[in-house]
Amino acid sequence: MRFAIRDDDTSYFTSPDQLEQVYGAIWDDVPVSLAVVPFHATTKSGSVPAELWSGNREYATADNDTLVHYLRDQIRENRVSVLLHGYNHKNYDDGFEFQVGEHLFDRIVKGKFELERLFGMTVQTFVPPHNALSRRGLEAVDKSGLNVLGSFLSFSPKQRPWDRTTLGNYLKVWRYRRRTGRGRHDRMVYPTPLRYANHSELGCHALIPGTSLASLTRGFDEAQQAGGDFCLATHYWEFDSAMTETLHALLDHARKADVTFVNADALFDKAGSQS
């Protein structure tokens, strides 16, 4: 069983000390996949200073030299990998970036190019801001060929582009709901990647303030029993002592199950053969 940590919202506004405080004690053994915003908008977010929650400016991660050099060092040490977290993470009056934004495919292409230029690695995975993807957003991601890590993925054929895989994936999820006794509206994280025309998708379990250790270990145990993998999604800027305690306890629980800790891209290895 593979276990990956996905941490969202690294950007121009992130300091190395913030990441070090959360992950410095673990990432020699447990790599962390940082979902990076290439050009963060002035928009309301816990990762952005409140005085910059309005306006039309974008802040390039490349302009934070200290962070960029720090992350390059961590990448070389295999402590960190980089995922694409939207283009500018802008919030709109009627939705989030990859729900209602314009030119979504171009945003992916430009954002991917920027992160690869900065960090000298191939970006393979997309994390939608706020875990929100419209049908247009999914079409853009599929066209790009990037895999998707989300926390609340929709599997309804009505809410996604139709291709030869859509019905089959819907039936896999439907059968899993039946096996686990869930109704159609009950929250569920399907434990293996689902392959679509040009990309795969996998859901993550969220660690946010108030998340209980019991809920995460239940999700972990369920994924293990199903022969799947486990992805934990969180935000460095939300961490407090309780979240830190929960993270370390979950990792201890996983170690007892003899998992392999991997970067998030590795969760999609051989995704086409998963069922």
Summarised one tens digit per residue, pLDDT across range 174-206 is 999 999 999 877 888 999 999 999 999 999 999
Q: Would you say 154 and 185 are in contact if contact means Cβ atoms under 8 Å apart?
A: no
Pairing of strands 200-203, 205-206: unpaired
Residue 142 is inside which H or E element, if any? helix 135-144
Q: Would you say 35 and 6 are in contact if contact means Cβ atoms under 8 Å apart?
A: yes
Residue 207's pLDDT is what? 98
89 alpha-carbon distance from chain centroid: 13
The yes or no reply on domain 2-273 and CATH 2.40.37.10 is no
Residue 212's pLDDT is what? 98
How many whole angstroms separate alpha carbon 128 and alpha carbon 98? 7
Residue 273's pLDDT is what? 39
Residue 274's pLDDT is what? 42
**Mean pLDDT calculated for residue range 30-37:** 98
Q: Is 239's pLDDT higher than 60?
A: yes
Average pLDDT over the chain reads 94
pLDDT tens-digit map of 51-70 = 999 999 999 999 999 999 99
Q: Would you say 149 and 127 are in contact if contact means Cβ atoms under 8 Å apart?
A: yes
Number of H helices, E strands in the chain: 8, 14
Q: Is 134's pLDDT higher than 80?
A: yes
pLDDT tens-digit map of 248-269 = 999 999 999 989 999 999 999 9
Q: Is 86's pLDDT higher than 50?
A: yes
Confidence category of residue 157, pLDDT binned at 50, 70, 90: low
Q: Locate 46 and state its tokens.
A: 């816990």
Taking CB atoms within 8 Å and a gap of at least 24, the contacts of 47-54 are 47/9, 47/11, 47/13, 47/14, 47/235, 47/237, 48/11, 48/13, 49/13
